Amino acid sequence: MPVISLFAWMLVIVFLAFIACMFEDLESDTGSQSNPNSQVQLAPEMGYIHRYYNKAISGEGLSYALACTIAGTIALLLLLKFEPVYGPKAAILAIPVGAAVGSISHMIRASVCYPGREAAHKRFEQPIYLDVFYGHLVPIATHNFIAVICITGIAYIQSHLTVLSGVSGTSNPFPLPLLCLIWGITVGAIGSSTGDIHYGTEREFQDRPFGEGRRVIYHGQICRYGDCGIRTSKDVVAFCAKYGGPATGLTFGLIVLFENWRTVIGMMLGGLTGAAWNPGIAAGCGIGLGIAVAIVLIVLNTWLVRWARKKYGPFVGE
């Protein structure tokens, strides 16, 4: 019975992971953070004044590591205070309060970037639009809150799995803030690698033809007009939520799924439910499963690229 609850908690973790990474990507599109922001930075220097929110805290990996670690620290403080009294129910208070503090600190950090970067664009005549400034802070905070609360939840479950599932020895030995740091860096790295493609290639250069890469001479000439009027960063989120956001969530969810699944299967094959516990076989089975999944991925990618080459054909035009 207890092993079933182990799998159940693992599925809860995977579900939280899907949501976390999807909202991480959408939040980075709300504020135009990370790689496509280089175009938003370049546009005024080439004479194209814009109304995007130029949020340049740092790369997404580090800024999410920060927000999640602060959330994890505050959650840990509250858990230490209230767990002796209430038991595991203390997490219901600790995790949302920690995530709220993390999101507020992220919002404050985001609020200093836009005036700073645009004040440094004085000679290019880029003004600071106060309605852009005030209007984007709350969406940034709310999207960030959902991502951070999911990551804190994942870290809490992983560090307290022995208590939650009843199977001894399954908790991760790292403390809660360190797990939040680890998943924060990972979520940011994944969101920056996958979701930013949809924002950078498609939405920022939407007036260029679909089906080709963006040439170097287009750089800086971003699309500044929207459906009706002038585009702000809030208009970007609705577009990227149709493809970039969910695809990013899918990536992190699959990674967390396969990492946890192969570890648990390895533990079962190594004798978790039986009498003899052989750690070498448990680790070895986990490694073997991982290599099998890697081979499947290599085959999938080879087939996918070959399909694209056949269907799309060589480049047409000049």
Partner 1 sequence: MTVTPAVEEEEKKEEKPKEKFKFSFDYFNESRLGIFALVVGAIIAVAAFFPSLPAFVKGIGAIVVILWGADSVRKTARYGLGTGVPSIGVLAVGFGLVGATTGMAIGSEIYHYYGSIGILGVLAGVAFMAVVGYVSGVLANSERFIGMKIPGLERGMAELAMAGTLAIILECSIVAGSWYIGDILSPIKGYNIAPVAFIAVMFILAGFGMLQPYNSCLGADERRGRTLLMAIEIGGINCIILGAVATMSLGAVQGVPLLVLGAIVWVVFYRAYMKACMEESYAAVGTGLIKTLGG
Partner 2 sequence: MEPITLVIILVCIIIGGMLGSLGVHLLPVGGAPAAMATATGIATGCVMLMTGSAVTGLFTASTVATFWESNPSVVLVSLSGGVGAMLMMGFTMLIANLIYIFGAGVVPVSGRAAVDPITKESQTEYKTPRTDGHGVPNVCFYSGMIGGLAGGFGGALIYVILMSGEYAGFSIETAVIVALGIFIANAILAAYNIGGTIEGFHDPKFKERIVTGLTCAFVVSLMCGILVLIAIETGTLGAGGVL
C-alpha closest to that of 194 among 242, 248, 243: 248
Q: Which of residues 154-193 bind partner 1 (CB under 8 A)?
A: 175-178, 180-181
Q: Which of residues 256-315 bind partner 1 (CB under 8 A)?
A: none
Binding mask 237-276 toward partner 2 (x if CB under 8 A, else -) reads ------xx--xx-xx--xx--xx---x---x--x------
Residue carrying the six token digits 């991760």: 172
74: which residues sit within 8 A by CB, 6+ positions away? 94, 97, 98, 101, 102
Residue carrying the six token digits 């396969």: 258
User: Which residues are bridge partners to 225 per DSSP?
Assistant: 230
Q: Of 18-26, 103-111, 200-208, 212-220, which part binds partner 1 (CB under 8 A)?
A: 103-111
Among 7, 48, 82, 258, contact with partner 1 (rule: CB under 8 A): 48
Q: How far apart are CA 298 and CA 36, in angstroms?
A: 28
Indicate the residue among 108 and 294 with the shorter CB distance to partner 2: 294
Considering the rule CB under 8 A, would residue 92 count as an interface residue with partner 2? no
C-alpha closest to that of 252 among 31, 8, 20, 38: 20
Among 3, 12, 15, 105, contact with partner 1 (rule: CB under 8 A): 105
82: which residues sit within 8 A by CB, 6+ positions away? 90, 93, 94
* CB-based contacts of 304-307 (< 8 A; 24+ apart in sequence): none
Among 115, 166, 274, 279, contact with partner 1 (rule: CB under 8 A): 115
Task: Identify what 259 binds: partner 1, partner 2, none; CB under 5 to 8 Å per kind.
Answer: partner 2
Name the 3-class secondary structure at 315.
coil
Task: Identify what 165 binds: partner 1, partner 2, none; CB under 5 to 8 Å per kind.
Answer: none
Among 119, 287, 296, 304, contact with partner 1 (rule: CB under 8 A): 119
Residue carrying the six token digits 């600071």: 128
Q: How far apart are CA 240 and CA 26, in angstroms?
A: 7
Q: Which of residues 272-311 bind partner 2 (CB under 8 A)?
A: 279-280, 282-284, 286-287, 290-291, 293-294, 297-298, 300-302, 304-306, 308-309
Q: Of 19-27, 62-70, 87-95, 281-289, which part binds partner 1 (CB under 8 A)?
A: 62-70
